[in-house]
Chain A
Amino acid sequence: MKKAKTIALIAGFGFFLLAVFVQSLLPYFMKQYLTVRTDVTKTVRTPLGILGQVKSHAAPYSPLVEKGRQVFIREGCWYCHSQYTRPVAGEERRWGPLPEVGEYAYDLPHLLSTRRIGPDLFRVGGKYGDDWHAAHHFDPRMVVPDSIMPKFTWLFKKEGDRFVFNEDGKALLAYIQNLGMNKGKWRDDFPYQIAAEGSAPAYTTPASVAHGKEVYLRRCVGCHGEKGDGKGAAPTAVLFTVATPRDFTVGSFKFRTTPSGELPLDSDLYRTITVGIRGAAMPPWFNLPEEDRWDVIHYIKTFYPDFATRPPVQPIYIPPPPDPTPEMIRQGKETFEELKCWECHGHEGRGDGPKSDTQVDDFGNKIPPADFTKGIFKSGPRPQDVYRTFMTGLNGTPMPSNSDAVQYKNLDPWPVAYYVLSLSADKP
C-alpha cells in the first residue's frame, strides 16, 4: 500500500466509528432500548393479600444506596460478581427472574461484569438477612467455610464486644439489599424457593447422620456452632440485630405444623432449610441437593435427644387456600381484633401494639412483634404459611397457638391469614 491516508481514514477512523454506530448508538436510539426507558414488570401484593404482576417503573437510587454503589465500585466487588442472569444454564432457577432493560436505567457506569468468581448478585436483594451480610463481610469463611472472598473488616466498627457495619458498610448493605428489588416481591412468588415439600425423608442411619455432619460443618456451623447451641463464630464476632441463631439443644422450634410445644416434623425442618427465614440470618438453601438437606436434619436432631425417643405427633391439617374476597379481608380484620392480635402487632399491623415493648422470648431476649406492613414474613409468604403460624404459634416466643380459639369459637383461619398478608399490600 502506498497511501497512509487510506489506512488512517478507512481503517483507523471509518471502521471504528461505523462499529460504534451500529453496535451501540443505533440500538440506543431504538425505542425498546432507549435509556430513558425505566419500565419493569413488578410483583406486588394486592389488597386481597395475594400476589400479582403490574407494569411499574424502576426507582432511582436513594442517596444511601448510591453511596453503597460507590463502595461496591471502589472495592472492586464487580470483578467477581456479575449483575445479569442469563436465560440459559438454569440461572433463572438459581438466582431468580431474568433482568429487564428498565432495571438498569440508573446504572452509570454499568456493573454487568465479565467474571463470576462469586455468584451473580443481580437478584441478591432480600435473599440473605442483614445479620448474615454483616457476618459474611466481616469474615466470609465464618459463614461459608469454602468461600474465597476477602474479609472486608474496614467496613466495620466495634460496638460493645461485637462488630457492626460502619457508615460505608451500612451503605454497601443497603445497596446489596436493593439489588433486583425493582422487580418487587418476586421472591414471594419464586417457585424454587417456596416449593418446600421435597420427597419423603429417609430413615435416620449412621451414614445419613455422618453425611449430615459434613453438610453441617460446611454450611451451618458458622452460626449454629459446633455444639448446635447457636453460639457459632458469626454471632460471637458480629452483632446480630434481627435474631440470634437457633439453639438446637433446647428443642424449641418456631416453624412447625405440629401443635404448640411439640417438636417439629422432619418436613418442617426441611421447609425452613429450603426457604430460609426471610429477614433473619438464615439463608434459603434451595440450591443444595435434596439429600444434603435431609441428611443435615438427621444430624441436627442429634443435638436434642428427645427427637429419637418421642414419636412424631400428628401435624395440623392445612386445607387448600380458598380465593380471597374483600369480604374475607373484612372478616379477617374482625378476627384480628377479636383475638387481640393487635395487643402486640398493633391495629395497623405495624408491630407497635400496646404490649409490643415488653415481649421476651424463652431465652430472655427482647423480641419485637412482627411488623406485617414490611412484607417480610419469617415463616413464609404464602397464605398457608400464615395459616400455619396462626394455628400452631411459634414455640419459644410469645406468639400463641390459636387452634383452640378456632375450635371453640368456630372461626375460619383463612380470612385472618389473608388479612395479615394484605397489610403489606403495595400502594398503587
Chain B
Amino acid sequence: MENNSNNNLVDNQVVRAWLMWGFFWSIFAPTVGILLSLKFSFPDFLSNEYFHFGRMRPVHVNGVIFGVFSTLFLGLSQYMVPKLTGVRMPKESLSRAAMWLWNITLIAGFAGVLLGYNKGLEVAEFPNPVPLGLLISLLMITYQVLLSIARRKEEKIYVALWYVIAALIWTDLNLVFGNLIIPYIMPGVSNAALHGLFLHYVVGLWITPGGLAVIYYFLSAASRTPIYSHKLSLIGFWSLAFFYPFVGIHHYLFAPTPYWTQTIAIVASMLLIIPVWAVVANFYGTLKGGKWDMYQSDFTVKLLIFGAAMYFIGSTQGSIEALRSVQVPTHFTDFVIAHSHSTVFGGYVVFVLAACYYVWPRVSGTGFDRGVAQVSSWAMIMGISSMFTVLVIQGLIQGTELAAGAEFVDSIVSMKTYWFIRTFTGITMDIGISLVAINLFFSKAARQGQ
C-alpha cells in the first residue's frame, strides 16, 4: 500500500499546513487544561471575568476535540486518502481554504466563549454563526474525499477509508444537528436527550472513527504489515456504526427522560465492547509474527500500540460506567473525567500524534530527534496513566462519600489532594505532547533513511 515513489499523490504543503495548525493547538489546548486544573487547587488563580473556570472550560474541551484531534486528523486525511485511492485530491485549493476556514473559526469560537457568547450546550458552545465555519470546512473536505473515492484506482476500499467516509458524513450531519437544530427546538428533557446524542456523536462518530482510521492506516504502514484480520475489521466497523449512535442518553441517566431510552443507551454502551475489543485485537494481532520489536524502535508503532491500550482501558471503562449501578456513585464525579481523558487523549490524540511521526518527515523532508521523541513518549505514557489512575480513585472516593451522606463541601475537601496531584500528571502529559510538536516542527535534521 505504501509507495514512496508515488509521493506526488500528496500535496505536501497542504498537509504540512494542517499539521502545523494541529501542532499549535496541541500545545495550546492541553495548556489551557493545566490552567484549569490549577484553579481547583488555587481558586483565585487567573480568575477574572474572561478567564474564570466557566469561560475557560469550553476552550479546553473544544480545543482538544476540534483543535488538537480534528486539525491533525483532517491533515492526516489529506495524506491517507490520496495514498489509499491512488488519485490526487480533486481540487487542492479547497483543502487549503478549508484549512484556513477551520482554524480561523476555532479562534473566533474561543474568543466568543471567553467574551461570554456561549450557547449553553456542552461541545456546541460556539455562538452562531461561528460553527458554520466548521461545517463548511468539513463539507469541503467531505466533497474532496468522496470524489477521490469515486475516482479511485483500486476497486477495494481499505478499512481506514470506511471510517473516514463514515466519520465525515456523520459529523457533517452532527454539526448541523448540534449547532443549528438542537438549540432551537424541543425544550426541556427532550432537549437534553437530543444533546446527549449530539455529545456522544462528537466522540463516537467523529473522534472514534477518525482515530481508528488513523491507527488502521498508520499501524499497517509503519510496521509494513497487513492488518491481522479482515473479519475483525468488518465486525469492528459495523458494530461501531450500529451501536454507537444509540448511546448518547447515558449522559443523563436517572433524569426524567423515558426509562426505556435510558435502557437502550445502556445496552448499546455495553455492546460497544464488541467493536472496541475487536479492533484492539486486530491491532495487536497485526504485530504478531516478529513485528513487536518495532514497539522499541519505531515511535509511530510505539505510540499507536500504547494508544490502543489506553483506548481499550478507557472504552471498556466507559461501557461499564453506563450501567445504572455503576453510575450511582460515579456519575458527576472525576471518574467520568478519567474516562474522557483516557479515551480522547490517551487513545485518539496519541493516535494522531503517532501518525505525525510518520507523516511529517515524509511531507517536510526533515527528521526528528530520537532522544527527545523518547522523552516525549514516556512523558505522555506516564502522564496519562497516572492521571487516569488519580481521577478514577478520586471519583470513586467522592461518589461513595456522597452516597454515604457526606456534606457536599466535605466531599470537595477530600478531593483537594487528588486535584493537586492531577495538575502534575497534566503537566507531564502537556510536556510530552508539546515535545512531539516542537521536535517535529523545529527539526532541521535530514529525514532518516527508510
Contact = CB atoms under 8 A, between A and B. Distances in A.
Nearest to A88: B328
Interface in B205-248: 205, 234, 237-238, 241-242, 245-246, 248
B403 A27 contact: no
Nearest to B162: A7
A24 B146 contact: no
Given A16-B205, A101-B189, A115 B408 contact: no
Given A1-B162, A84-B256, A108 B407 contact: no
B380 interface: no
A80 B58 CA distance: 12
Contact of A146 (B121, B238, B261, B412): B412
Contact of B54 (A27, A35, A150): A150
Interface string B31-60: 000000001100110011100111101100
Interface string B257-300: 11001001100000000000000000000000000000000000
* Interface of A, helix, strand, loop or mixed by DSSP: loop
B302 to A, nearest CB: 30
B407 A287 contact: yes
B349 interface: no
Given A4-B150, A114-B336, A141-B43, A75 B245 contact: no
A119 to B, nearest CB: 5
A367 interface: no
A17 B39 CA distance: 40
B53 A76 contact: yes
A18 interface: yes
A114 B332 CA distance: 6
B449 interface: no
B194 A24 contact: yes
Given A4-B150, A23-B197, A104-B187, A75 B165 contact: no
A337 B156 CA distance: 94
Interface residues of B, number: 89
A340 interface: no
A355 interface: no
A13 B173 contact: yes
B261 A147 contact: no
A33 B258 contact: yes
Contacts of B189: 33, 101, 104, 110, 112
Contact of B402 (A87, A89, A99, A147): A89
B149 A23 contact: no
Contacts of A13: 169, 173
B251 interface: yes
A112 B118 contact: no
Given A82-B332, A100-B256, A150-B39, A107 B191 contact: yes
Interface in B179-202: 182-184, 186-195, 197, 199, 201
Contacts, number: 235
A151 to B, nearest CB: 6
A23 B53 contact: no
Nearest to A34: B190
A109 B336 CA distance: 23
A148 B336 contact: no
Nearest to B117: A74
Nearest to A102: B188
A371 B58 CA distance: 44
B65 to A, nearest CB: 15
Most chain A CB inside 10 Å of its own CB: which residue of B149, B242, B407: B407
Contacts of A141: 43
Nearest to B325: A88
Interface in A29-81: 30, 32-33, 35, 73-80
Given A110-B188, A289-B407, A80 B53 contact: yes
Contacts of B190: 24, 27-28, 33, 35
A423 to B, nearest CB: 34
B172 to A, nearest CB: 9
B170 interface: yes
Nearest to B56: A76
B255 interface: yes
A73 B120 contact: yes
Contacts of B195: 109-110
Most chain A CB inside 10 Å of its own CB: which residue of B40, B189, B261, B333: B189
Contact of A90 (B52, B156, B253, B405): B405
Given A108-B187, A114-B122, A89 B155 contact: no
A147 B408 CA distance: 10
Contacts of A35: 186-188, 190
Contacts of A409: none
A74 B118 contact: yes
B112 to A, nearest CB: 11
Nearest to B233: A1
A178 B337 CA distance: 30
Contact of B197 (A19, A75, A84): A19
A100 B412 CA distance: 28
B143 interface: no
Given A12-B170, A79-B57, A89-B328, A148 B120 contact: no
Contacts of A110: 187-189, 191-192, 195
Contact of A109 (B120, B251, B255, B261): B120
A112 B184 CA distance: 16
B220 to A, nearest CB: 16
B183 A15 contact: no
B444 interface: no
A207 interface: no
Contacts of B54: 75-77, 79-80, 150
A84 B252 contact: yes
Contact of B156 (A2, A94, A114, A118): A2
A10 B237 CA distance: 12
B254 A88 contact: yes
B44 A106 contact: no
A11 B237 contact: yes
A158 interface: no
Contacts of B100: none
Nearest to A151: B47
B118 A76 contact: yes
A288 interface: yes
B157 interface: yes
Nearest to A37: B188
Contact of A89 (B205, B242, B329): B329
Contacts of B329: 89
Interface string B52-80: 11110110000000000000000000000
Given A23-B193, A23-B265, A86-B254, A4 B149 contact: yes
B447 interface: no
B210 to A, nearest CB: 14
B427 interface: no
Closest 9 CB pairs of A and B: A76-B54, A19-B245, A12-B169, A104-B188, A86-B254, A11-B241, A108-B187, A73-B120, A116-B332
Interface of A: 1-4, 7-8, 10-13, 15-20, 22-24, 27-28, 30, 32-33, 35, 73-80, 82, 84, 86-90, 93-94, 98-101, 104-119, 140-141, 144, 146-152, 154, 287-289
